[in-house]
Amino acid sequence: MLGSLRREWDTISHADVPQLLRGTIKTELSNGRKKAYKADDAETIEVCSRAITAVLELANLMEEGYATRVTADYTPTILVDFSSLHNFKLNTVFVKQAASWPVKARLLCATIAVAWNQTNA
């Protein structure tokens, strides 16, 4: 998704994405929202506001996923909890919660792309 916003972001490492989201991308969307305020463009203001929220949620989601993967891969002393019949967990992350991450990430990316395209057209 990042490569579709800017070509140079196509090869950024996953570990650097949350920082990019909270930094450059959030700043540019905020600038787009400021321009929309000046133009009294209520639709773009709303689109940018939703995208800024999505940027922060996606950054958090990626960090949570990374932390869970690190726990699973490198901390064998933390056991998987199978006490719930249909929803086991690792640390505090239930498998059903983790299963929803790809869909949630796609929706957040789509929200960000709409605002990006609208403010960078």
34-63 pLDDT per residue, tens = 999 999 999 999 999 999 999 999 999 999
Please name which of 11, 6, 14, 114 lies closest in space to residue 54, comparing C-alpha atoms: 114
Q: Which domain holds residue 89?
A: 2-119
Q: Which pLDDT value is given to residue 80?
A: 86
Number of domains, the chain: 1
Which has the minimum average pLDDT: 12-16, 49-53, 85-89, 111-115?
85-89
Please check whether residue 114 is in contact with residue 44, taking contact to mean a CB–CB distance below 8 angstroms: no
| Alpha-carbon distances of 80 from 63, 68, 73, 94, 99, rounded to whole Å | 20, 11, 12, 10, 16
Helix, strand, or coil here: 59? helix
Q: What is the mean pLDDT of residues 59-83?
A: 88
